[in-house]
Amino acid sequence: MEKKIIFLGDSITAWNSELKNIENSENFGVPGFISRDIVWQLQGDDEETISGHTACLMVGVNDIMMGISIEKTLSNIKEIIEMLKKRFEKIIFISILPIDNVNMNKNIQKLNENIKNIDGIKFLDVHNYFLNEHEMIDYKFTTDGAHLSNYGYEILNKEIFKII
């Protein structure tokens, strides 16, 4: 049997239509989710539904946009990763993408730097692929300054498919 891949995250994950083309995968992304929601999602699961070989996680941008501290968001992400380590052989954290707000992007970058150093994960750093010269998401990759356009998903998926 092929190894099962699970995707967890917010609307960026939920609306990634190409993920359904990956054999033996399931997308548990939910629009609007913050890191705490994924903690609850995993706590409320029977551990068989959200389990497999590889977990791909992308979360944190909504936390930053809602003003949740980097420290609290990082704590939640570490808790998520600890839960995932019990269910998956491989955990991939896909870096938080930039948005169209320079100040928030500074916090996103700080959070990414902290996540990158968490033991037991593979960090897929795609953040800078999406930046323009003004340190914001380049408008060719986005529909509204936060969500990805088809071209944005094309770039993201190319990198995801290389690593899974």
Give yes or no for residue 93 having a pLDDT over 60: yes
Give yes or no for residue 95 having a pLDDT over 80: yes
What local confidence, expressed as pLDDT, does residue 42 receive?
96
Give yes or no for residue 77 having a pLDDT over 90: yes
Q: CATH number for the domain including 102?
A: 3.40.50.1110
Q: pLDDT tens digits for 53-67?
A: 999 999 999 999 999
Give the total number of structural domains in the chain: 1
Average pLDDT over every residue of 69-74: 98
Structure tokens at 22: 């990956």
Q: Are 130 and 98 in contact (CB under 8 A)?
A: yes
What is the value of pTM for the model shown? Answer: 0.96
What local confidence, expressed as pLDDT, does residue 37 receive?
98
Q: Are 81 and 121 in contact (CB under 8 A)?
A: yes
Q: Are 138 and 130 in contact (CB under 8 A)?
A: yes
Domain residue limits at 80: 5-163
What local confidence, expressed as pLDDT, does residue 117 receive?
97
143 pLDDT band, cuts 50/70/90, is very high
Structure tokens at 19: 């993920």
Average pLDDT over every residue of 108-130: 98
What local confidence, expressed as pLDDT, does residue 2 receive?
65
49 pLDDT band, cuts 50/70/90, is confident
Give yes or no for residue 48 having a pLDDT over 90: no
Percent residues over pLDDT 90 in the chain? 93
